[in-house]
């Protein structure tokens, strides 16, 4: 059974409970498969990255096979503005949209979800999905100072790998959800001074586990989510936090997609 996210953002939890940790988020217009039902909870698998977790049944909307087929065959449109508002033409209700929301079956300011038709305001800045790797760094800058949020993928809060995922998605490149999965993509860059803007830098702990990822920003800088989305210096040792005056993350490898 396929469904879609009809709200600005919905928390996906490790267990079917409001008290369980949020492992990721699904954003407006993202689709998923429901694989199990338990009371008021649905176990879902995101179509974006195959990530699984539990969501509240009330925060989902079932879609027909016909709608889902159209959804997958039409070009994707995203909201590029940080926030925007859409109005349902059926009942007049408004929904707050956040950056990177998907607007299904979008055409000339209108889009559809199920049987409802929505209209976006002029400030929403809706753009078609295009492969633009040169836009990675500029897109990342639009998230500067967004607070860190474990499991977050929205303009109101991101974690390190969620930040990387949504930035690359806006540039037409799909990545897995977690840093330990993202490191499997692309080819290695031998030296920090050979890194290009938009490359991904991965960091590990003393056990060799990948625990952090950020986007190279040129001139020995990196933009990443740590406390907030921020720009720090990076060298062969890792990330140097100028505010704290110390290295905070140990560099493992730099990858280029």
User: What are the tens digits of pLDDT across the range 195-228?
Assistant: 999 999 999 999 999 999 999 998 999 999 999 9
CB atoms within 10 A of CB 170: 23
pLDDT at 210: 98
Query: What is the pLDDT confidence band of residue 1, given thresholds at 50, 70 and 90?
Result: confident
CATH number attached to the domain at 133-256: 3.90.1720.10
> Mean pLDDT, to the nearest integer, of 15-32?
97
pLDDT at 141: 96
pLDDT of 26 above 90:
yes
pLDDT at 103: 95
Q: Delimit the domains of the chain by residue range.
A: 2-128, 133-256
Domains 2-128 and 133-256 share a fold: no
Any idea which residue has 């009942």 for tokens?
91
pLDDT at 115: 86
Report the C-alpha gap between 257 and 253 in whole angstroms. 13
> How far is CA 106 from each of CA 119, 170, 207, 246, rounded to the nearest angstrom?
9, 16, 47, 47
Render pLDDT for 108-152 as a digit per residue (tens, 0 to 9): 999 998 889 999 987 788 999 999 989 999 999 999 999 999 999
Render pLDDT for 175-194 as a digit per residue (tens, 0 to 9): 999 999 999 999 999 999 99
pLDDT at 252: 97
Any idea which residue has 């020995």 for tokens?
220
Structure tokens at 251: 């560099």
* Mean pLDDT, the chain, integer: 95
Report the C-alpha gap between 125 and 208 in whole angstroms. 42
pLDDT at 114: 82
Name the DSSP class of 147.
Answer: B
pLDDT at 74: 86
207, 214 Cβ separation under 8 angstroms? no
> Mean pLDDT, to the nearest integer, of 162-187?
96
- The structural architecture, per CATH, of the domain 2-128 is Roll (2.30)
**Residue 248 buriedness (CB in 10 A; 0-12 / 13-18 / 19+):** middle
Render pLDDT for 38-81 as a digit per residue (tens, 0 to 9): 999 999 999 999 999 999 999 999 999 999 999 988 888 999 99
pLDDT at 225: 98
Report the C-alpha gap between 47 and 209 in whole angstroms. 26
pLDDT at 159: 98
162, 226 Cβ separation under 8 angstroms? no
Q: What residues contact 119, with CB distance under 8 A and at least 6 apart?
A: 86, 87, 89, 109, 110
* Residue spans of beta strands (DSSP E) within 41-176: 41-46, 52-56, 61-62, 77-79, 83-88, 94-98, 110-113, 116-120, 126-128, 153-154, 157-158
| Long-range contacts (CB closer than 8 Å, 24 or more residues apart) made by 52-59 | 53/12, 53/13, 53/14, 53/23, 53/24, 54/12, 54/13, 54/14, 54/15, 54/16, 54/17, 54/20, 55/10, 55/11, 55/12, 55/13, 55/26, 56/10, 56/18, 59/5, 59/6, 59/7, 59/10
């Amino acid at each position: 059974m396929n469904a879609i996210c009809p709200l600005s953002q919905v928390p996906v939890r490790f267990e079917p409970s409001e008290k369980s940790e949020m492992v990721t988020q699904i954003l407006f217009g993202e689709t998923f498969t429901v694989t199990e039902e338990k009371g008021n909870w649905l176990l879902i698998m995101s179509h974006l990255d195959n990530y699984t977790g539990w969501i509240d049944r009330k925060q989902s909307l079932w879609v027909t096979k016909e709608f889902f087929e159209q959804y997958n065959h039409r070009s994707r449109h995203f909201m590029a503005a940080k926030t925007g508002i859409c109005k349902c033409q059926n009942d007049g209700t408004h929904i707050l949209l956040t950056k990177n929301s998907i607007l299904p079956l979008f055409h000339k300011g209108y889009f559809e979800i199920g049987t409802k038709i929505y209209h976006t305001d002029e400030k929403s800045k809706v753009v078609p999905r295009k492969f633009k790797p040169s836009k990675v760094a500029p897109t990342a800058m639009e998230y500067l100072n967004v607070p860190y949020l474990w499991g977050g993928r929205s303009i109101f809060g991101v974690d390190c790998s969620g930040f990387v995922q949504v930035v690359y998605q806006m540039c037409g490149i799909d990545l897995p959800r977690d840093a330990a999965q993202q490191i499997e993509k692309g080819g290695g860059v031998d030296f920090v001074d050979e890194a290009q803007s938009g490359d991904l830098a991965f960091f590990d702990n003393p056990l060799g586990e990948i625990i952090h990822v950020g986007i190279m920003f040129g001139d020995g800088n990196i933009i990443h989510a740590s406390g907030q989305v921020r720009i720090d210096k990076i060298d062969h040792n890792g990330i140097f936090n100028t505010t704290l005056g110390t290295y905070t993350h140990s560099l493992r490898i730099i990858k280029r997609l």
